[in-house]
Amino acid sequence: MKTEFKTKIQSIIDNKTKPLGSLGVLETIALQLAVIQNTDKPKVDAPFHTVFAGDHGICSQNVNAFPQEVSAQMVGNFLNQGAAINAFCDVQLIAMQVVNMGVKHFDENITHKMLINKPIAKGTEDFSQTQAMTEEQCKKALNIGHKLISLQIKEGANLISLGEMGIGNTTTAAALMAKITDLDVEQCTGMGTGSDAQGIKRKNEVIKQALVLHAEAKTGIEILQCLGGFEIAGMVGAILCCYENNTPVMIDGFIASAAALVAMQMQPESKQNMIFAHCSNENGHKKMLDFMQVTPLLDLGLRLGEGTGAVLAIPIVQSAASFLNNMASFDDAQVSNKDA
């Protein structure tokens, strides 16, 4: 039935008042949206953005250019509407929330309408020495992401975008990438928030050490537990929730794509709900996208995180839905088709 439905939607797209295929990638997105929502009139007019934040024990290995306190400071910046992601959401009037999954230096007594406090611990453990999370912690992080996004979908969100904050998480994402793709570690690591050559060398060393330590981890959830972060696990849970609820999900840059990579390991069919927003300037991202056989919508030289690229790409997705919903067919407009 899905094949028949795709054929039907493709026929609708092909018969719009335009040369065949002339809307390029927008046609691909329109078809994807229709299939995800199982309708020829997909709606993505109520996007919702979530930033998952967490700290990483691997920072004890001096792999981060910025001090770990910055994670908490940036959460405060989000709440004060001072970050790039706030500015981009404001332009499009997109509601957003920030989820504290385990930010080491964050004051958990702070309350704010945008803040969801769900700390699992004061950051993960050092995955070069032990598992990043216990099995219980990993499942709890997945469940938090799943439940929070499920709530937003129930409240009317029909397009989810994801971002993250966590000093050290480029090292974590690179470790997940190296483990799952089996690429050389050097192809997976990059400068992150500003590491120099020595910092990148240090990242490579600790990731290689971790891959030996966690060689027995095979399944998606085992790999996530051993090498992941609380905020990455939250995004994995969110992605799986979107799949289960027929909702498209915008995947941001390197860190969010690592979450997507894990989600595909856990549920391969979840890929069909993912829209990859942009190619990050982080060294390993293009290789990760190539491994997943996906093409991002934008390439703007971004490497900020927070979901900035995901939010920037939302109007493109909305435009794809709009042409499918509103553009006339040749018959409707009484315009002669090429083959008429």
Token couple for 158: 């029909």
Q: Which of 164, 231, 282, 306 is catalytic?
A: 306
DSSP 99: E
Assign 138 to helix, strand or coil: helix
Asked if residue 54 lies in contact with residue 224, where contact means CB atoms within 8 angstroms, the answer is: no
Residue with tokens 């950051």: 123
End-to-end CA distance of the chain: 30
Token couple for 147: 């439940």
Rg over CA atoms, the chain: 20
Q: Diameter of the chain by CA atoms? A: 69
Task: State the sign of the Cα–Cα–Cα–Cα dihedral 234, 239, 244, 249.
Answer: positive
Assign 27 to helix, strand or coil: helix
Q: Which residues pair with 190 in a beta bridge?
A: none
Is 306 a catalytic site residue? yes
Asked if residue 71 lies in contact with residue 106, where contact means CB atoms within 8 angstroms, the answer is: yes
Instruction: State the SS3 of 213-270.
Output: HCCCCCCHHHHHHHHCCHHHHHHHHHHHHHHHCCCCEEECCHHHHHHHHHHHHHCHHH
d(CA 157, CA 154): 7
Asked if residue 229 lies in contact with residue 260, where contact means CB atoms within 8 angstroms, the answer is: no
d(CA 3, CA 14): 16
Asked if residue 300 lies in contact with residue 278, where contact means CB atoms within 8 angstroms, the answer is: yes
d(CA 194, CA 198): 11
Residues tagged active-site: 306
